[in-house]
């Protein structure tokens, strides 16, 4: 796919509420931005004609500057297309505008976020955008250079996150992973010397704390299945949770995207949202009974089974993402009251359906089969995940010593 350049007003205001003008360079649906150094009020921007309105005091000069910048970018792109057919948007930007050795941390962070948005990786975009926000709150300026991000800076930042924002150790480590990713990119682009790398060895080590994964047992799931004093919203939340559990803890985003056309010959065939894998799996009898509750609302074969995405704007990935996020939050609220009615003290969320399947599976199913059921790409992921629920050997070993 050919590359192109376009004048845009970025919808990210500065501290004065003004918006930056930029040249957007796109290649294969991935974009990067060259800021021209001028900010205007959003009311002074003509989106339809892509120019600064006459209402701005320097509209003529700004429009001349934008036209010149765009013309130079397009001329350079024409020359680059034959020489660098496989160049990325960022490589094209580098060719057009020279070295990026003065790029700041937040400039590379913004490029990273723009990439995630272009690739529609909205869940990660939401997380990484929040992580970048914590760094900006700590430093209080977007002029942070990579040379400033040393061991002392990172340790002070981690302490700040823990004390000022009460972030968990896992969240802090996730921010460190993002900083490390961007630092490595800065090294590749020769923005910072590799000798200043602040991670690993005796410097800052990224080590995630062990987490306890607790799932429901068979009796607890039966208690939930047998509840008959549920509100309509609780009844629906239970159905979605049990549906997820019956498919080895299918992720809520995949559950809500399932259509009636994905069901053929009592098999569910769908593409996972996380890694685009094609899945074909038998529909358990309990799941078939759940589906019966939704047939009356079926509009056509390509209709969604569950109602949450029926009114979503499917051409707008952000709208779909937000509706799934809202639905998950509502499900978790209702699952909390369901647990109370069932007399279950364990925390129940949509994700606990996956833990519950792992807890009941234990070590009774071969790891390769569990890998297939979990839809993991790597067997190591399955082994590490399932290790949280395998206690039999350790329990027997303990008994062999103390039961005398």
Q: What is the pLDDT of residues 214-239, one digit of tens each?
A: 889 999 999 999 999 999 999 999 99
Name which residue leads in pLDDT, 208 or 29. Answer: 208
- Which residue ranges make up each domain of the chain? 1-98, 99-211, 218-361
Given this model, what pLDDT does residue 346 score? 93
Name which residue leads in pLDDT, 271 or 145. Answer: 145
| 102-111 pLDDT per residue, tens | 678 998 999 8
- pLDDT of 390 > 70? The answer is no
Given this model, what pLDDT does residue 156 score? 95
Q: In whole angstroms, how large is the CA radius of gyration of the chain?
A: 26
Name which residue leads in pLDDT, 381 or 160. Answer: 160
Task: Give me 165's structure tokens.
Answer: 């924002």
Confidence of residue 37 (pLDDT cuts 50, 70, 90): confident
Taking alpha carbons only, the member of 316, 337, 312, 340 closest to residue 326 is: 312
| E strand or H helix that includes residue 108 | helix 105-118
Average pLDDT over residues 42-64: 93
| 233-270 pLDDT per residue, tens | 999 999 999 999 999 888 999 999 999 999 998 899 88
Average pLDDT over residues 17-32: 80
Terminal Cα distance for the chain, rounded: 73
- pLDDT of 401 > 90? The answer is no
- What is the residue-averaged pLDDT of the chain? 86
Given this model, what pLDDT does residue 26 score? 80
How many residues are given for the chain?
Answer: 404
Instruction: Calculate ∠ Cα 186-113-52, nearest 5°.
Output: 105
| 118-157 pLDDT per residue, tens | 888 888 999 999 999 999 999 998 888 898 999 999 999 9
Return the exposure string of 316-343: e unless at least 16 CB atoms fall within 10 Å of the residue's CB, then b.
Answer: eeeebbebbeebbeebbebbeebbeebe
Given this model, what pLDDT does residue 189 score? 82
Given this model, what pLDDT does residue 102 score? 62
Given this model, what pLDDT does residue 181 score? 96
Given this model, what pLDDT does residue 329 score? 96
Given this model, what pLDDT does residue 57 score? 92
Q: Measured between alpha carbons, how far is 25 from 69 in angstroms, rounded to an integer?
A: 12
Q: Measured between alpha carbons, how far is 223 from 211 in angstroms, rounded to an integer?
A: 26
Name which residue leads in pLDDT, 372 or 153. Answer: 153
Given this model, what pLDDT does residue 234 score? 97
Report whether CATH 1.10.150 matches the domain 99-211. yes
Given this model, what pLDDT does residue 27 score? 72
Task: Give me 358's structure tokens.
Answer: 């792992």
Confidence of residue 398 (pLDDT cuts 50, 70, 90): low
pTM here is 0.66
In the CATH scheme, what architecture does the domain 218-361 have?
Answer: Orthogonal Bundle (1.10)
Given this model, what pLDDT does residue 92 score? 63
Confidence of residue 325 (pLDDT cuts 50, 70, 90): very high
Inter-residue contact 263 to 221 (CB < 8 Å) = no
Inter-residue contact 189 to 239 (CB < 8 Å) = no
The highest-confidence range among 81-85, 339-343, 394-398, by mean pLDDT, is 339-343
Inter-residue contact 352 to 215 (CB < 8 Å) = yes
- pLDDT of 84 > 60? The answer is no
- pLDDT of 85 > 60? The answer is no
Given this model, what pLDDT does residue 244 score? 94
């Amino acid at each position: 796919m050919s590359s192109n350049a376009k004048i845009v007003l970025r919808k990210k205001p500065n501290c004065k509420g003004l918006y930056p003008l930029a040249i957007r360079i796109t290649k294969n649906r991935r974009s990067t931005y060259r800021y021209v150094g001028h900010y205007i009020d959003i009311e002074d921007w003509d989106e339809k004609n892509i120019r600064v309105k006459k209402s701005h005091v320097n509209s003529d000069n700004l429009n001349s500057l934008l036209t010149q910048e765009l013309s130079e970018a397009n001329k350079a792109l024409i020359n680059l297309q034959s020489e660098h057919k496989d160049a990325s948007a960022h490589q094209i930007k580098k060719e057009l505008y020279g070295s990026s050795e003065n790029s700041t941390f937040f400039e590379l962070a913004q490029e990273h976020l723009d990439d995630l948005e272009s690739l529609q990786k909205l869940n990660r975009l939401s997380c990484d955008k929040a992580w970048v926000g914590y760094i900006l709150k700590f430093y209080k300026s977007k002029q942070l250079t990579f040379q400033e991000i040393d061991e002392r800076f990172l340790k002070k930042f981690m302490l700040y996150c823990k004390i000022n924002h009460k972030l968990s150790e896992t969240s802090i480590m996730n921010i460190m992973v993002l900083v490390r990713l961007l630092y490595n990119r800065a090294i590749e682009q020769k923005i910072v010397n590799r000798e200043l790398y602040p991670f690993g060895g005796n410097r800052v080590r990224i080590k995630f704390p062990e987490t306890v994964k607790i799932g429901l047992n068979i009796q607890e799931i039966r208690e939930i299945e047998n509840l008959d004093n549920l509100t309509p919203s609780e009844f629906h939340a239970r159905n979605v949770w049990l549906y997820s559990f019956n498919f080895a803890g299918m992720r809520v985003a995949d559950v809500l995207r399932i259509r009636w056309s994905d069901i053929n010959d009592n098999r569910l065939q769908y593409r996972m949202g996380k890694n685009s894998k094609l899945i074909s799996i038998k529909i358990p009898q309990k799941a078939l009974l759940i589906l019966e509750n939704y047939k009356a609302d079926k509009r056509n074969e390509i209709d969604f089974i569950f109602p949450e995405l029926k009114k979503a704007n499917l051409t707008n990935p952000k709208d779909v993402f937000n509706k799934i996020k809202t639905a998950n939050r509502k499900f978790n609220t209702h699952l909390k009251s369901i647990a109370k009615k069932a007399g279950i003290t364990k925390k129940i969320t949509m994700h606990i359906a996956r833990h519950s399947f792992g807890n009941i599976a234990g070590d009774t199913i071969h790891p390769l089969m569990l890998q297939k059921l979990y839809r993991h790409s790597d067997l190591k992921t399955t082994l590490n995940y399932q290790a949280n629920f395998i206690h039999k050997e350790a329990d027997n070993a303990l008994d062999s010593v103390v039961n005398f």
